[in-house]
Structure 1
């Protein structure tokens, strides 16, 4: 309801205006009357009306002076000027204050209500535009957050192919020169396991806190898996890479200080990988952060640990391992048993060729690989918690056999999921879209409904149906629009809103793109 203040030095004028306005609509209400400009300013400050009917000629502070004073206090208030003085100078002076409405005394009821209706419509239209703009900003923020989370996920499994630091820099409006991964881990105190709610609350706290302490640094927060969250930090200058430890320590110190004030009954541990110049190398930084976390298990008093740069020979060997892991993860994701066995044998042979390798080293390599497999399964929405029970004391061949058996069990689970669960979930998604096509539907909402990550839902949907989510949603909407156009009693604007579009011009462009005809042309051809 819009609030209105009446300002006039004549009590009869105020009373008459109040009656006319209060009886005109339930959407407006007179919340006060003022006999002069001074009181009008006081009441406007206290009650913050939406509209003020302002008499121009009043003793003391006149209407024009009052408008100027109130505009300084609250520029959003609208004014309808009322005066018996029909002179250009008065009109010109209030117009300079942005006042558009001007009615004369004695005022006719229809003139008063017409002016009020125009101002109300303007206020409501601006309010609607603000809501739509805020909605667009919220949707954009959410889309960017999802995109960043999914991109960090692809970094972890070394699937970065389609975007570079330069392209992210263009999106963010800054020059990105390198990046590194921090891996945050929440460990329970004592034997009590952390609940899902505790982990989720910590995850939300971590995101909010990072945003508040990051200052001028850029970062992307990845997904929560088990009790770990990877965060990609982007360096905007070469000097930031050189001094990345200083910047990282500032973030770590702030987080630890703020974390101590919370009562999570858990411990925060942070592993930090090295910075790299190319996006496809970030998987190395993630693995380094992961190894740093594992090394901290031997020194419980440590709260964070930076990865140590390896020698060139070790890096070469590490690159081979990373490439094999990448291929192995993709084969597991596809449920390809033969390819998994072939790649695993290559992995085992490469490790076995090292004469100095020990069982503990093989176990460590397998542990890291199975963490990546577990994260991939989590992203796919596959529940498979069992991990191979490998002891450091076991000989290398026994470790290889246990690792192979575990991978085969995982592949079997993926095959079941791909053949049954994923197929069922995708058809469930299609049904959901067909029911809710008229809503403001997003890929994220549908993915959440079928309990798949947006990244994999999008990929699986296109693989299964040969079109993207948005193409399918558009196809459904256009089909319903065509059906509704048969009814000549429905306007095109009404049809536009009924199928989920908010902008008739955008609807018209989409319709023409899909049918070759504008909505008006299509209706003429089909209905006549």
Structure 2
């Protein structure tokens, strides 16, 4: 509803305008009348109308002066000037204030309504554009927030192949050239045995707020918390030489430790730092370097942070061969492939055994790291598993392998049961939700929340089970429904576009042609005829 204010020193003119406008449409209403410029300024500030019909020639403050004064505080109000004087000077003066509409007295009803319609359409168009921009911004912010967690999680589990630094540069609006991972761990103080879940959650929220405001040549992406550890991905905005990386990472670390020192947490913070990589597929190495550095820190309690990699910590074996074995093992677990998982685990064990100088303590730490990755994977997939891997260091390394294999077997069997029952049912539920809500602005996040799966895993399940992505399936449903509706010649293509969930007819046309080979017009012509 657009609010209109009438300003004129002649009461009959005001009453006539009010009657014409109020009878013209349900979308506009006159919220007040002002007999002079001074009163108009007061009422504009109080009622904030959308449109003001302003008489130019009035005693005291005239219409032009009133427009200037109102414009100082109310930039969005539109004016339609009304005057008995058809002179260029008047028109020129109000046009300088951004006024586009000018009608003469005595005004014809048609002139009044046409002028009102033009201004109303302009306001409606701008409001719609603003709403669409806000909607897109909210969706983007939500998508980015989800993508951050999911992307960091996938980096930890395996090298990422579906997004590049160039694509992240486009999404974030800055040039990203490299990245590295820090692994932060919250430890209980020496006199306290264990941290409470609430303490961990409060620390995670504190960390999220702290890193959100930190943008010194880097974009910060926070991963999910597993146990008391949080991976943080730093995307560097400029070419990162090792000296620059050390300086930037040191600055971040100092900032985190200084702020943590000022906080109220009764705990200790340790930070392992991986090296930077210019290829997104290598960031998985940075994570393993951060893990090795963090493990090394636990043996040196006087240190708060440590750099990983060749120039930093010398910890567990993190060669490319072991990384590839871990990746293949996690992939097999996701698929619930028992034979493949057991075979790969044997290869993993053999790799550890073949590593020169391998000690029982190093085997235990390597297993601990592997099963932390498995725990993260289960968490990210939305799979609840009550069992936990606990192994004591043994002189007989084979005993540790056997216990690890037994634990892995129980995990795979649990995943198999979950995939065959829960996941299948959730996918059916997800498909039904899409089929009932395709006409709305539906998102992967909404569907995942509805079926109680993580967006990351729902997307992977769709691809694995149906051979298409969530977006592909949603598009298929929408195009199928659009074809059905096109048989009804009484429906316009624009109407059909909106009814199947698209907001832009041009975009709908492009998507339709991509999937059918015909434009909507061509398809309707062939179908109807």
Same fold by TM-score greater than 0.5: yes
Return the TM-score normalized by structure 2. 0.87
SS in 1 for 2:213: helix
8 Å contact kept, 2:178–2:278: yes
SS in 2 for 1:106: coil
Instruction: Summarize the Cα distance change of 1:33–1:417 in structure 2 as closer, same or farther, 3 Å threshold.
Output: same
Instruction: Summarize the Cα distance change of 1:81–1:188 in structure 2 as closer, same or farther, 3 Å threshold.
Output: farther
Shift of 1:438: 0.9
Trace 1:205-284 onto structure 2 (pairs within 5 A). 205-238=206-239, 241-255=242-256, 269-284=270-285
Shift of 1:396: 1.2
SS in 1 for 2:182: strand
Q: How many residues align?
A: 527
Instruction: Give the Cα separation in 1 of the matches to 2:242 and 2:312.
Output: 19
Q: Is the aligned partner of 1:413 residue 2:411?
A: no
Instruction: Give the Cα separation in 2 of the matches to 1:437 and 1:290.
Output: 43
Instruction: Summarize the Cα distance change of 1:455–1:300 in structure 2 as closer, same or farther, 3 Å threshold.
Output: same
Instruction: Summarize the Cα distance change of 1:513–1:286 in structure 2 as closer, same or farther, 3 Å threshold.
Output: closer
Aligned to 1:429: 430
Shift of 1:311: 8.0
Deviations 1:454-482 (A, max 9, x none): 23322221221122222221221122222
Shift of 1:258: 5.3
Aligned to 1:464: 465
Deviations 1:145-185 (A, max 9, x none): 43343332222123223444455445545444432112234
Aligned to 2:152: 152
Aligned to 2:391: 390
8 Å contact kept, 1:235–1:241: no
Q: Which moved more, 1:367-376 or 1:349-358?
A: 349-358
SS in 1 for 2:319: helix
SS in 2 for 1:82: strand
Instruction: Summarize the Cα distance change of 1:318–1:143 in structure 2 as closer, same or farther, 3 Å threshold.
Output: same
Aligned to 1:62: 62
Aligned to 2:505: 504
Instruction: Give the Cα separation in 2 of the matches to 1:13 and 1:258.
Output: 67
Instruction: Give the Cα separation in 1 of the matches to 2:188 and 2:230.
Output: 15
8 Å contact kept, 1:213–1:254: no
Aligned to 1:89: 89
Instruction: Give the Cα separation in 1 of the matches to 2:517 and 2:347.
Output: 54
SS in 2 for 1:496: helix
Aligned to 1:9: 9
Q: Which moved more, 1:416-425 or 1:369-378?
A: 416-425
Instruction: Give the Cα separation in 2 of the matches to 1:94 and 1:365.
Output: 77
SS in 2 for 1:367: helix
8 Å contact kept, 2:289–2:318: no
Shift of 1:53: 1.1
Q: Which moved more, 1:157-166 or 1:98-107?
A: 157-166
Aligned to 2:182: 182
8 Å contact kept, 2:178–2:240: no
Instruction: Summarize the Cα distance change of 1:471–1:164 in structure 2 as closer, same or farther, 3 Å threshold.
Output: closer
8 Å contact kept, 2:297–2:306: yes
Instruction: Give the Cα separation in 2 of the matches to 1:349 and 1:516.
Output: 54
Q: Which moved more, 1:184-193 or 1:409-418?
A: 184-193
Shift of 1:508: 2.7
Q: Which moved more, 1:106-115 or 1:468-477?
A: 106-115
Instruction: Summarize the Cα distance change of 1:312–1:220 in structure 2 as closer, same or farther, 3 Å threshold.
Output: closer
Return the TM-score normalized by structure 1. 0.87
Instruction: Give the Cα separation in 2 of the matches to 1:186 and 1:234.
Output: 23
Q: Is the aligned partner of 1:489 residue 2:507?
A: no
8 Å contact kept, 1:271–1:305: yes
SS in 1 for 2:518: coil
Instruction: Summarize the Cα distance change of 1:294–1:47 in structure 2 as closer, same or farther, 3 Å threshold.
Output: farther
Aligned to 1:44: 44
8 Å contact kept, 1:178–1:241: no
Instruction: Give the Cα separation in 2 of the matches to 1:311 and 1:55.
Output: 78
Q: Where does the alignment leave 5 or more consecutive residues of structure 1 unmatched? A: none
Shift of 1:204: 4.8
CA RMSD of aligned residues (A): 3.3
Shift of 1:362: 1.0
Q: Which moved more, 1:226-235 or 1:267-276?
A: 267-276
Shift of 1:78: 0.5
Instruction: Summarize the Cα distance change of 1:34–1:269 in structure 2 as closer, same or farther, 3 Å threshold.
Output: farther
Trace 1:314-333 onto structure 2 (pairs within 5 A). 318-333=319-334
Instruction: Give the Cα separation in 2 of the matches to 1:95 and 1:112.
Output: 18
Aligned to 2:122: 122
Aligned to 2:351: 350
Q: Which moved more, 1:406-415 or 1:292-301?
A: 292-301
8 Å contact kept, 2:7–2:53: yes
SS in 2 for 1:6: strand
Shift of 1:110: 4.7
8 Å contact kept, 2:217–2:237: no
